[in-house]
Amino acid sequence: MTQPHLVNMQGVSKSFGGIHAVKGIDLTLDAGEVVAVLGHNGAGKSTLMKMLAGAYQRDLGDIQVHGQSVALSSPAEAHDLGIETIYQTLALADNLDASANLFLGREIAWRFGPFRVMDQARMRDQTAQVIARLNPHFDALDVPCRSLSGGQRQTIAIARALQFDARILIMDEPTAALGPHETAMVADLTRRLKSQGLGIFLISHDVHDVFDLADRFIVMKGGQEVGSGRISEVTKDEVLGMVIMGRCPAQIRPGPGASMLDEHGAQT
């Protein structure tokens, strides 16, 4: 028997009132793979990923994780399945250090009757270990996060996801708030996580950000698939054409969101 996909979404749809934010999307992810989810603002990328993260409930469709259909009715259920999300906002508590941020809301504590005592040493130790997996040179463990660079903050955000044994990582526009140097650092982190066997959905509206990192891609437009395939079978310009005009190159099977050419060769 072949190995089930890490994630297998079939016919996933979500509407908000009259807006079809996501319509009939099929998408898979395997371990050690980076799949880029591309499209303009409003294409439905975040909504699709929020259904996988348990933040939104799908209206239609099936989502399997490790070959099992799952409800994903809450973020807690997604966490238990090893699904973690990193948002562009780099949401960290500025007044707390790395370790406090990693364990925020999930602290390790000893119980003495009615009292809870935080096990600071153990949390710092585990923080140091998980950050070393990402960046052996990270030297800002004990300072408040407000004094960290964007790249260091992103390291902590990713470490937080890894800390809880993420197998599936959703990175929603992870470099949108970062400069070029820090963007390169996040790219480096992404490669490292991939080599450790995580499956990664990398969401972006910018083809340039993800083209060199991704193994496969899907382009969305108006909630639908324009097309999908392996990065090795397309050029960057072809993917740009898919994002901007919804035009599928000949070697890619068009999805329902692809725009068709009329008899004069114009986009419809």
Does residue 183 belong to the site contacting Mg ion (CB under 5 A)?
no
The alpha carbons of the chain give a radius of gyration, in whole angstroms, of 20
Q: Which two tokens stand for residue 37?
A: 């989810």
Q: x/- site string to Mg ion, residues 27 to 66, per CB under 5 A?
A: -------------------x--------------------
Does residue 46 belong to the site contacting ligand ADP (CB under 6 A)?
yes
Closest CA to 201 of 27, 20, 3: 27
Does residue 44 belong to the site contacting ligand ADP (CB under 6 A)?
yes
Q: Which is nearer to Mg ion, 124 or 246 (CB)?
A: 246
124 touches 100 (CB < 8 A)? no
Judged by CB under 6 A, which of 4, 24, 32, 42 binds ligand ADP?
Answer: 42
Q: Which is nearer to ligand ADP, 42 or 249 (CB)?
A: 42
Give the pairing of strands 224-230 and 216-221. Answer: antiparallel
Judged by CB under 6 A, which of 11, 19, 179, 245 binds ligand ADP?
Answer: 19
Does residue 110 belong to the site contacting ligand ADP (CB under 6 A)?
no
Q: Which is nearer to ligand ADP, 29 or 123 (CB)?
A: 29
Spatial separation of the C-alpha atoms in residues 129 and 132, rounded to whole Å: 5
Closest CA to 255 of 229, 234, 224: 224
Query: What spatial distance separates the first Cα and last Cα of the chain, rounded to whole Å?
Result: 43
The residues that touch Mg ion, with contacts defined as CB under 5 A, are 46
